[in-house]
Structure 1
């Protein structure tokens, strides 16, 4: 397994039994939910999340998750609109504007923590479908990573399936940035249903949820020229891919695209 938190293994990593005599991972919690099995493991000083036998992420690095949020904010070159009347606000950035960001997937919490560190994010909505993951952050081992970020008044945790939320559940709400990290990439989804997020209809729904000039940022364990073209076909502009070098194998990437003003 490479150091970056989402580095793609050579093959899916399956949950093991008791730790090996040499010091293998230790299972802290294992749950069956509507989307299959999720497992929290401890390996040395770090935690790992496994979904349906497939390694998702761990706490060994976090560069990928931080870049996902940083790159989206950097793309928002022009000040966005403040929050809608009645919506929660937060600290203002240098332009007096509080950007609204939707983070798809709580994961190990690095993206949320990074967003909270930046005052220009005035509203931070995290959509996570696995109740177990939310529990691990609120009252479990991962609270050591995200406890302060969860307590930030700008943070909102929504327990929902991201695909459904983007298409239907968000109502009239729109965001200045969508930072999506629920799979190992558009071409390696955790569950089959997630594929709908990267389909023409799913990308159209993402575009609809963005404010004019808003940014879509999608994490992936490998580059995808096909996904870049899908973004262009969906009407996004400024499509580009930013790489995060890894110890071995292909780099992690963040796909970036903008909604026209």
Structure 2
């Protein structure tokens, strides 16, 4: 585990910086934002991503299941709450009714480092259409499950458990056994197994998109995820185009992917 995992202000600042420096430029590279764009972030956490959009004058909504994270979001976005440029909702996305709960539909939906934590993505992703305006788009950022730290083992407090790559790919009971050998406590093992149950590859993500009639507008693969610049001082580097084009193999050597998708007519 690194210091920033427990420092909410620093994490808020990092997600804000990566949004300003990388996510917004990616979105704008092939898309002109609507004048009065409305933005929804599902799994908004402390709302560092949304801060970048409210700073641009867009009205934003954040949905978050963990109330303690929303408490930080309300603290960090106090002025935006007061002037009405942001609203937050602590509710299960399946139970949210856009018209009555949020009062609007959205031009852009953001899921940054979220889709890999949602159970049954094939059930979840069709829900997004309920929240979109006609012509609206959805942005996904996620680490492929098979990448060196796709198991999110870096959040563990045990030194070697947090630094060893790829061992989350051990099959069956070998993975929890390895975690135990590395000194991880039962609650930590349970959390890691939950993450394993929802991990997603690039190919599975694209398969679900196709089933949901979602078309890819743009994509970007990173050898070094942009967030690493703020976490570890490692400069972002895009993935080699040849490696990025090789199905399955690319999951093992790509630290993060950006996708912008839209509903086909």
Q: Deviations over 1:25-75 (max 9, x none)?
A: 49xxxxxxxxxxxxx7239xx645xxxxxxxxx644655444445544665
Answering whether residue 117 of structure 2 is matched by residue 181 of structure 1, we say no
Q: Is the 8 A contact 2:140 2:258 kept in 1?
A: yes
How far apart in 1 are the matches of 2:94 and 2:28?
22
- Compared CA separation, residues 253 and 163, structure 1 to 2 (3 A): farther
2:6 aligned residue: 41
1:155 aligned residue: 86
Can you give the 5+ residue segments of structure 2 that lack an aligned partner in the other structure? Answer: 145-200, 226-233, 236-252
Shift of 1:133: 0.9
Query: Superposition pairs for residues 11-160 of structure 1, below 5 Å?
Result: 13=1, 25=3, 41-42=6-7, 47=10, 59-60=13-14, 62-66=16-20, 67-69=22-24, 71-72=26-27, 76-77=31-32, 79=34, 93=35, 98-119=36-57, 121=58, 123-139=59-75, 143=76, 146-160=77-91
Aligned residues: 182
Query: Superposition pairs for residues 246-261 of structure 1, below 5 Å?
Result: 246=225, 247=234, 250-260=254-264
Pairwise CA RMSD of aligned residues?
3.5
Q: Is the 8 A contact 1:166 1:206 kept in 2?
A: no
Q: Deviations over 1:133-190 (max 9, x none)?
A: 1212334xxx2xx44444442211112123443799858842111111363xx4x41x
1:234 aligned residue: 212
2:185 aligned residue: none
How far apart in 2 are the matches of 1:206 and 1:131?
22
How far apart in 2 are the matches of 1:138 and 1:59?
15
Report the secondary structure of 2:61's partner residue.
strand
Q: Deviations over 1:54-108 (max 9, x none)?
A: xxxx6446554444455446654474xxxxxxxxxxxxx3xxxx11111112324
**Which one has the bigger helix percentage?**
2
If the length of structure 1 is used for normalisation, what is the TM-score?
Answer: 0.56
- Compared CA separation, residues 147 and 75, structure 1 to 2 (3 A): farther
Q: Is the 8 A contact 1:69 1:111 kept in 2?
A: no
1:195 aligned residue: 119
Answering whether residue 131 of structure 2 is matched by residue 209 of structure 1, we say yes
Q: Deviations over 1:121-142 (max 9, x none)?
A: 2x21111121111212334xxx
Q: Is the 8 A contact 1:243 1:253 kept in 2?
A: yes
How far apart in 1 are the matches of 2:204 and 2:98?
22
2:191 aligned residue: none
Match of 2:96 among 152, 160, 165: 165
If the length of structure 2 is used for normalisation, what is the TM-score?
Answer: 0.55
Q: Is the 8 A contact 2:65 2:91 kept in 1?
A: yes
Q: Is the 8 A contact 1:69 1:179 kept in 2?
A: no
